[in-house]
Chain A
Amino acid sequence: MSMRLFKKTAALGILISILAGFSGCWDSKEIDTIQIVTGVGLDKAENDEYVDISIQIAKTSPSAPGTKDSNGNGDSKIILESSKQTILEGVAELNLNNSRSPIFHHNQVLLISADLAKEGITEYLDAFMRDREARLEVLVVIVDGEAKEMLQADFEQEKVSGIFLRRTIRLLSNVTPEYSVRMIDLASRLRDESISPVATLVRLEDNDDKKNLLVEGMAVFDSEGKMIGNIDADEMRGYVWAMGKVEQGRVAVECEYGRAAFQIISMDCKRNVKLNEKGQVNVSFDVDATLNIGELRGFENLTPSELISHLIEETEGEIEDTIKGTFQSMQDLGADIYGVGLDLKRHHPKQWDKLKDRWEDYFSEAELELDVNVRIPGTGQIKKSLEMEDGENES
């Protein structure tokens, strides 16, 4: 063997060993040695030092023909529980007493019970943000009640409640992106003192023997990550509309002529924040909405033009009231969920520096100016309701 050939062989050997050495053989996991985590729930433990961790695992069962379980539609998930001082310890304990190791890549939701959230969530997020496996895109959902119960619940559409939750919230976020709060959103809001963190708030509703999911609204946190209140479903609309970029949803008004419901075609909100002479924060919301008539009840005696102008008036009032109501209750909580502080910081950084230490107080005293502009370009596929009279409308 010539020297050159020897060198080449040696080089090839080195290369192969590099390939083997740099690779992650030890990362290799057969798929039947892992269990796929689809939801993590954190609950308050009896001992204050501890936290109850429940992990939901989607049960895999051979689905091949001929090997089907007789109870194929039985329980499709496993709930593992442990109670430890830290989350990592808890997961490690689960690992010990199990034939399969959980992987967190596909975790769908992180459920935190409202009781725990009231004491602060910051410390619990830490473990999930550090872990390489856990994703920052995981949805954070606050459960009014027990997180474990939510994980155990059977829902009609999806057997695995983690997936059910994620899909439900995904669908909601079609209305407005504000509904889906990912870990990364929550974390960045927690770090930022100019905007208050929020997270989706859900509740499990017992309906005879069936369980129903109820999206209650949003949980509102203070800057330390403690849950201080919530926005209910009605107030939620005020929040969503004020945040703008709404592409779906309904507006309903009731007046002396009857009841009308509208589809939101688009709704945008321009915000402007400035300090007035008295040093008070002045917030102006400029809402621009395009609605489509979805349903009319009553309104028999109005011509189309009258009808439209009347409806515009009514809807403008409705939108204004809703937004104002939500804003007021947020001011009462002292939680700037709109990011008014953020706007101020961006546009008037010097003034923000002065205000930021007591921002909650300033926000509570802020003045809201609201300008709502509604357009109703369409009446849907029909012009007038069946009960409306003909004739005068033709002119």
Chain B
Amino acid sequence: MVLLFLRFLFRKLRFFGSSCLSHKPEGEYHEKQSDECKIKTRLQKSLDSIKDSLGNSCDVKTHTFKFGPEKRFSGAIVFIDGLVSSSTITESILRPIVSWQPIYKLGFSEDELADLVSGELLCAGEVTKVSLLSELTLGCLSGDTAILLDGCPFGLVVSTKGWEKRNVTEPQAETVVRGPREGFTENLRTNTALVRRKLKSENLRVENLIVGRNTQTDICIMYLDGIADPKVIETVKYRISGLDVDSILESGYIEEYIEDAPFSPFATVGYTEKPDVVAARLLEGRVGIVVDGTPIVLTVPMLFIENFQTTEDYYTRPLYASLVRILRFIGYLITVFLPAIYIALINFHQELIPTTLLFTIANAREGTPFPALLEMMIMIFAFEILREAGIRLPRPVGQAISIVGALVMGDAAVSAGLVGAPILITVAITSVAGFLVPAQNDSASLLRLIMMLLASFAGWYGVSMGFLAVLLYIGSLDSFGTSYFDGFAWSTNLQDSIVRMPLWSMVRRPKDIARNNLVRRRFFIPPLRPHSHDDNDDSEREG
């Protein structure tokens, strides 16, 4: 009864949370601007209004020039210094236009001139004809170059993006021993290209959205047409396009705005820094969200099991991969429950500890000033502090931190009699086990504290209630229409769950994600044995 009630309660709480935060888009903002300024026929007027809207920023460059027969036409280019590649501007815009000498026809209308410039003169890949000043400025702000021609009510936006960007490097957070080492960069196009290089499929779709009033961030939604569930795609598009926010600086912003359970310690949106991971997830029917300006790419829907899957599970052979995956599950359980179990045993259930071990622990506890809970809290906080310090500090200083952490806080605390050695060992195992599942480090640190509190005032009873509550809570979560806990359920295919079966035996995609297109491959194909191949040859020869 109590459990059912708990489940009910969690669901309700979650719904309440999400209904509070659901955002109703107010779409009038963009339309208001659109009336204001069309591009003027007079060149100088247009330039003035562009200068007006961009202010007097020093990095906005304009350049007017005369061209055509007898230099009778005049035009101007506008761009932002630093965002553009100046060689592209010179080579593909200025040189062809300025050196243009028409030989057959001299009478142009202004309309025709614009078409002629874009169609025949420019040597650029992407030229857009725009009529609104705002579009023109947006083009400039994204690194394109705007061309204005005197007497022509249109502008041309030529793609000249060419800012300084980081190279494709090995990701810091997700390192691998075996597998591709390239990671995403801050450049949207590079990122989509990296995924496309993995998936040379005609079904790979990349759709663009622009979010953020001030940041005007480009966001790409990637999916494999025919595999991804259209409902999920629809939901993602709806949730992102409905956003009316000031800024999107990182994919974390998007994640917070679109996730199903905003107050949950468990992330319901997956993220990765590696193109092969995104490719694999797209192939399972997930949708990727690439945000400009960050190397972190989001994928939805996310299942709880994804925290325990790493790329290397699929690149190493299945037996070892399964062993490591089981280790990860155990590691997660240890990192959440070990301190709580320790406290419960020490404070409530001394009878459950083997006698000799109890003596050892009792000896160690002798003379330590604090109760077990406080001792544990101190050590865990100390560890979290060290970890946080280690992340933020530059590498050479980080080494010093680890020495201070290991020697001073560990050894000295024990020999000074401030904490018992068993507590230190427990904390050490807890924190090291936590690193087995880095994706769930945040939820583990939170749950660990809750479990410790429960254990300290209700013993094993508290820990088991806490465990049940967490289990029910995870079970009640959803991620983009998929139950978060799927992947452990018998109804789904368990080939890639607690153990990883050989790749050739996984003929189906995950049932809950690629709902419409389950069959990866029609047949179960074990690898060919080398001698069976020889046998065939022999029989053919004899025949």
A interface residues with partner B (beta carbon < 8 Å): 4-5, 8, 11-12, 15, 18-20, 22-25, 27-32, 34, 36, 38, 58, 60-67, 103, 105-106, 108, 133, 135, 163
Contacts and interface: CB of A to CB of B under 8 A. Distances in A.
Given A34-B350, A67-B367, A11 B5 contact: yes
A103 B350 CA distance: 9
B458 A36 contact: no
Contact of A15 (B2, B350, B421, B458): B2
A15 B9 contact: yes
Given A24-B461, A31-B362, 14 more contacts: A11-B9, A15-B2, A18-B2, A19-B458, A25-B458, A29-B347, A31-B346, A32-B366, A36-B350, A103-B350, A103-B351, A106-B351, A106-B358, A108-B355
Contacts of A163: 355
Contacts of A135: 351
B358 A64 contact: no
10 closest cross-chain pairs (CB), A and B: A23-B458, A105-B351, A66-B415, A60-B362, A62-B366, A63-B363, A62-B367, A106-B355, A28-B347, A31-B365
A40 to B, nearest CB: 15
Contact of A30 (B13, B367, B372, B457): B372
A105 B415 contact: no
Nearest to B462: A23
Interface string B293-325: 000000000000000000000000000000000
Q: Chain B interface: which size bin? A: 35 or more
Nearest to B355: A106
A28 B461 CA distance: 12
A20 B2 contact: no
B6 interface: yes
A394 B13 CA distance: 91
B10 to A, nearest CB: 10
A381 to B, nearest CB: 37
Given A23-B457, A24-B461, A30 B347 contact: yes
B434 interface: no
Nearest to B458: A23
B253 to A, nearest CB: 28
Nearest to B419: A64
B457 A67 contact: no
B226 interface: no
B359 interface: yes
22 contacts: A5-B16, A8-B9, A8-B12, A8-B16, A15-B2, A19-B454, A20-B457, A22-B461, A23-B457, A23-B461, A28-B347, A30-B371, A32-B367, A38-B355, A60-B366, A61-B366, A63-B360, A63-B363, A64-B414, A64-B420, A103-B350, A106-B351
Interface string B344-377: 0011101100010011111111111001100000
B456 interface: yes
A25 B365 CA distance: 20
A103 B461 CA distance: 20
B350 A67 contact: no
Contacts of B9: 8, 11-12, 15
Nearest to A65: B415
Contacts of B416: 66
B417 interface: yes
Nearest to A105: B351
A336 B145 CA distance: 109
A48 to B, nearest CB: 35
B462 A19 contact: yes
Interface string B455-471: 01111011001000000
Interface of B: 2, 5-6, 9, 12-13, 16, 346-348, 350-351, 355, 358-368, 371-372, 414-417, 420-421, 454, 456-459, 461-462, 465
B350 A31 contact: yes
Given A36-B358, A62-B363, A108-B355, A24 B459 contact: yes
Contact of B465 (A19, A25, A29, A133): A19
The prevalent SS among residues of B at the interface is helix
Contacts of A61: 363, 366
Nearest to A135: B351
B459 A27 contact: yes
A56 to B, nearest CB: 13
Given A24-B458, A28-B456, A31-B347, A60 B359 contact: yes
Contacts, number: 111
A32 B348 contact: no
Given A15-B2, A67-B415, A28 B348 contact: yes
B263 to A, nearest CB: 14
Contacts of B371: 30
Contacts of A105: 350-351
A133 B351 contact: yes
Contacts of A5: 16
A131 to B, nearest CB: 12
Nearest to A60: B362
B350 A29 contact: yes
B304 to A, nearest CB: 24
A50 to B, nearest CB: 30
Contacts of A20: 457-458
Contacts of B421: 64
B347 A24 contact: no
Contact of B365 (A24, A32, A65, A133): A32
Contacts of B12: 4, 8
Contacts of B359: 36, 58, 60
Contacts of A19: 454, 458, 462, 465
A27 B346 CA distance: 11
A180 to B, nearest CB: 16
Contacts of B417: 62, 64, 66-67
B237 to A, nearest CB: 31
B458 A32 contact: no
B470 to A, nearest CB: 14
A43 to B, nearest CB: 24
B459 A23 contact: yes
Contacts of B462: 19, 23
A8 B14 CA distance: 11
Nearest to A107: B355
A58 B362 CA distance: 10
A28 B457 contact: yes
A58 B361 CA distance: 13
Contacts of B346: 30-31
A26 B9 CA distance: 29
A38 B368 CA distance: 23
A132 to B, nearest CB: 10
Contacts of B358: 36, 106
B216 to A, nearest CB: 38
Contacts of A108: 355
B458 to A, nearest CB: 3
Contacts of A60: 359, 362-363, 365-366
Contacts of B360: 63
A32 B368 contact: yes
- Specify which of A5, A28, A67 lies most central, judged by the most chain B CB atoms within 10 Å of its CB: A28
Contacts of B348: 24, 27-29
A61 B462 CA distance: 31
B372 to A, nearest CB: 6
Contacts of A38: 355
A108 B458 CA distance: 28
